[in-house]
Amino acid sequence: MQYKVIAIDGPAGAGKSTIAKLVADKINYTYIDSGAMYRALTLKVLESSMDLQDKEAIIGISEIVDIDFKEKSIYLDGEVVDKQIREERINKNVSYISAIPEVRRNIVQLQRRISQGKNVVMDGRDVGTVIFPNAFLKFFITASLEERAKRRCTEIEDNGTQADLHDIKSQIEKRDYIDTNREDSPLIQAEDAILIDSSGKSIEEVLKEVLTYIASNGGKIDVV
C-alpha cells in the first residue's frame, strides 16, 4: 500500500495546526506537528542549561534526543511535554535552534521516520519543500500578521493567561523573519502548494476548502 502525506506549511499563528488536526480527523490520517519537535528539542536544550551559543552541544543533543508522539501527546525522553513546549521561553528560542542546519538534518530524519507506514497530515515550515517534497498534496496557509497575532492572543487568553497583543505581534514577526531568512530550509511556499489566505475566514471555511481540494485530487474522504 502506498501511504500519503498531506503537507500544511505556513507562518506562525496562521491556523495550520488547527486545520491540520481537523483534516487528519476527518480523513482518518495521523496528525504530526513538525514544529512541536523543534519545540521539544528547544525544551531539552534549555533544561540542560547549556550555553545557547554552543552550537556543537545543541547539535549533539539533536543527535540523541528521544521525541515521539503517542495518543495525541508529544513525549520528550519518555515524558509528556505538551504544555511545556508552548511556554514563552520556547517561543523565544526555538527559531534560533531550528535554524542550525545539522539540527535540521537530524530532526528531518526523525520526522520522516515517525511518518513511516502511515497516512500523515504534517504541518510546519518545510514539510512540502524539504521533508516530503513528493507529498500527495501541499497547502500553504497564511493570514495577515494582525490577524495571526489576534488569534494567538485569543488562544493564550482562552487558556487562562493574560496576553499582550503588541508583544505577541512583535514576537511572531521576529520568528517569521528568522524562519523566512535562514539559509537552510527557509519558510517558503512550495511551487506546487495550494495557497490559502485564511484572513477573515472561519476555521470551518478553511477546513472545507482543504477537504474539497483533497477530494478533488483523488484523496479518499469518509467525511464524518
Number of residues that bind ligand CDP (CB under 6 A): 17
Give rounded-to-5 percent helix, strand, coil for the chain.
Answer: 50, 15, 35
129 is a site residue for ligand CDP (CB under 6 A) = no
Coil, helix or strand for 215? helix
Q: Is the distance from CB of 190 to CB of 133 less than 8 angstroms?
A: yes
Q: Give the range of 36-44, 58-66, 196-204, 216-224 binding ligand CDP by CB under 6 A.
A: 36-44
125 is a site residue for ligand CDP (CB under 6 A) = yes
Helix (H) or strand (E) holding 141: strand 137-142
**Binding-site member from 65, 81, 126, 214 for ligand CDP (CB under 6 A):** 126
DSSP 8-class letter at 51: -
DSSP 8-class letter at 73: E
Please report, to the nearest 10 degrees, the dihedral formed by the alpha carbons of residues 153, 156, 159, 160 taken in order. -80
- 166 vs 82: CA distance, rounded Å: 25
Q: Per-residue contact track with ligand CDP, 75 to 94, x per CB under 6 A? A: -------------------x
**Binding-site member from 95, 106, 129, 171 for ligand CDP (CB under 6 A):** 95
Question: For ligand CDP, which residue has the nearest CB?
Answer: 35
Residue with cell 523565544: 92
Q: Per-residue contact track with ligand CDP, 37 to 76, x per CB under 6 A? A: -xx-------------------------------------
Binding site for ligand CDP (CB under 6 A): 12-13, 17, 34-36, 38-39, 94-95, 98, 124-127, 175, 179
